[in-house]
A and B are shown apart, each in its own frame.
Chain A
Amino acid sequence: MPIFRTWFLKKRRTISYAIFGILIVVFFLGRSFFLKQLHVLQIPLVSVATWTSNQYTNLFGSSSIKISDYQHILSERNQYAVDRAELESLKLKNATLEQELGFLNRRVLKGIPASIVSRSVSNQNTTFVIHVGTDEKIVEGSAVIVGDGVYVGKVTRVDQFQSIVTASTDPRVATGVTLFNKTRTIGIAQGSTGNLIELKFIPVDEEIHVNDLVVTSGLEEQIPTGLVVGIVNTVKPDAEAPFQHAILEPLVDIRRYDSVIVLTPTDL
């Protein structure tokens, strides 16, 4: 025993470096498992901060009407938007089904609830980490929603136990969308600064109006049709360019939520 003690004391520095190296290797190999253990701490912290901020905004935020009335109107507006999107989607589906009798291309969506475990902080980029990953069959590109079907972003990276979601307001994310105008204009919605979304490359002959509802077009594999993306806030026609563009206002602010739903399509 004294021999071991002497040897240990002599080689203490080398042993410390060896243990340090082993710890680094273990950390990188068992990264997913390690990060999963951290969720126990992260989820309550996100919930506490989100709740506190929401309460603060409700109490001290500028308002000319009662907070409860405002919340009621807001939820009603969101519900109407979702209902309208569903109605339009059903109309379109009905017309398509009538045209293509005998052809069934239906997808059942499975919603996986997920808690937000951490967020990035920037005025330009909005990403957040959720506590579900490939073990819950989340795939890259899956749509992420809140409430009854308000689209907030898509999964951009998946690990075994967690995924990174990039919000629809982030300039690095583009989503195929349809406008509920007369001609059902299809476009690409890309995030813009100030928590807004920009709709680009719309031909000048397309009619777009303020308050037009914008929903996902379903042209992307993992994103179903009819999820509400936002409403048109400003239309910017350019007399010299062949295209016009519009600014969309998302219906929800993701910073006010501590949990989301990830849609994973299951083919029938």
Chain B
Amino acid sequence: MTRFLLHVLIAFILSIIETSLFASFHGTIRFTPFVFAVSVYLLQHHGITSASSWMILHGIFIDTLQHSQTPFVTLAYLVAAVISILSAQRVFSNRSFYGIMTCSLLSYTGFIVMDFLLRLTGAFISKYPFDWMSYYKDTEARYMTLIIFLVILFIFAKHIRIVLAKLFLIPQSRQTL
């Protein structure tokens, strides 16, 4: 139960950082899919399967706020979480940078496809114009910031492992690389 509450707390903190801090920056940096990147990175590189729940909780959080551009965005995060778990456990290597990057890009593509379908449906129902070009530019910026953010996380892998061990998210024995 304590672990469950810890996960909920972490998910909310990450979600707040994405929607309040990152979203308030100017330029491309505001598109950083912070919660997604952290979740998939921890799932793939550190084997914390429960980290995938953070992105689902993030989806619930922004759906509850009704703050998302996409209706029922939790569904898109759910698809991304399933893809990331399956690909992390069965397809890609946990250790390599290549493994992290491809797993993240594959699951983010799953997210984007679902997000696109939901947004298209939303635009069709509410009869609002859907600007393809803006969506394309947004997606491009999201992919770019995701890749950059994953590179940064990979560089600090050792430090992140120490923090995770202190938070009891991974056993103390896995502290060093």
Is B16 located at the chain interface by the 8 A CB criterion? yes
With contacts A121-B31, A171-B129, A171-B131 known, is A49 near B67, CB below 8 A? no
Residues of B with Cβ closer than 8 Å to A?
Answer: 1, 4, 8, 12-13, 16-17, 19-27, 30-31, 64-69, 128-129, 131, 133-135, 137-138
A23 to B7, CA, bound (A): 14
Nearest residue in A to B128 (C-beta to C-beta)?
A: A172
A56 to B25, CA, bound (A): 10
With contacts A16-B1, A122-B69, A124-B134 known, is A50 near B24, CB below 8 A? yes
Shortest beta-carbon distance from A112 to chain B in Å: 20
Q: What residues of chain A lie closer than 8 Å to B16, measured between beta carbons?
A: 38, 41-42, 45, 118
Secondary structure type dominating chain A contacts: helix
- Do A255 and B20 have beta carbons less than 8 Å apart? no
- Do A56 and B26 have beta carbons less than 8 Å apart? yes
A48 to B24, CA, bound (A): 9
User: Which among B4, B12, B25 is the interface contact of A52 at CB below 8 angstroms?
Assistant: B25
Nearest residue in B to A255 (C-beta to C-beta)?
A: B26
Shortest beta-carbon distance from A45 to chain B in Å: 4
Q: What residues of chain B lie closer than 8 Å to A49, measured between beta carbons?
A: 20-25
Secondary structure type dominating chain B contacts: helix
- Do A129 and B21 have beta carbons less than 8 Å apart? no
Q: Most A CB atoms within 10 A — which of B23, B27, B131, B134?
A: B23
Shortest beta-carbon distance from A10 to chain B in Å: 16
A123 to B134, CA, bound (A): 6
Is A46 located at the chain interface by the 8 A CB criterion? yes
Is A68 located at the chain interface by the 8 A CB criterion? no
Q: How many residue pairs at the A-B interface have CB separations less than 8 Å?
A: 96
A117 to B31, CA, bound (A): 17
A248 to B163, CA, bound (A): 50
With contacts A38-B16, A41-B16 known, is A119 near B24, CB below 8 A? yes
Nearest residue in B to A253 (C-beta to C-beta)?
A: B26
Nearest residue in A to B137 (C-beta to C-beta)?
A: A123
- Do A119 and B4 have beta carbons less than 8 Å apart? no
Is A19 located at the chain interface by the 8 A CB criterion? yes
Q: What residues of chain A lie closer than 8 Å to B138, measured between beta carbons?
A: 121-124
Is A181 located at the chain interface by the 8 A CB criterion? no
Is A57 located at the chain interface by the 8 A CB criterion? yes
Is A193 located at the chain interface by the 8 A CB criterion? yes
A68 to B141, CA, bound (A): 31
Hey, what's the 0/1 contact readout for A248-262 against B, CB within 8 Å counting as 1?
000000011010000
Q: What residues of chain B lie closer than 8 Å to A118, measured between beta carbons?
A: 16, 19-20, 23, 65, 67
Q: Which residues of chain A (150-189) have a CB below 8 Å from chain B?
A: 157, 164, 171-172
A45 to B24, CA, bound (A): 8
Shortest beta-carbon distance from B127 to chain A in Å: 10
- Do A46 and B20 have beta carbons less than 8 Å apart? yes
Q: What residues of chain B lie closer than 8 Å to A244, measured between beta carbons?
A: none
A193 to B134, CA, bound (A): 7
Q: What residues of chain B lie closer than 8 Å to A172, measured between beta carbons?
A: 128
User: Which among B23, B26, B66 is the interface contact of A157 at CB below 8 angstroms?
Assistant: B66
Is A78 located at the chain interface by the 8 A CB criterion? no
- Do B67 and A46 have beta carbons less than 8 Å apart? no
User: Which among A23, A35, A57 is the interface contact of B65 at CB below 8 angstroms?
Assistant: A35
Q: Most B CB atoms within 10 A — which of A20, A120, A129?
A: A120
A260 to B131, CA, bound (A): 28
Is A127 located at the chain interface by the 8 A CB criterion? yes
Q: What residues of chain B lie closer than 8 Å to A120, measured between beta carbons?
A: 23, 67-69
Q: What residues of chain A lie closer than 8 Å to B27, measured between beta carbons?
A: 53
Q: What residues of chain B lie closer than 8 Å to A50, measured between beta carbons?
A: 24
- Do A16 and B4 have beta carbons less than 8 Å apart? yes
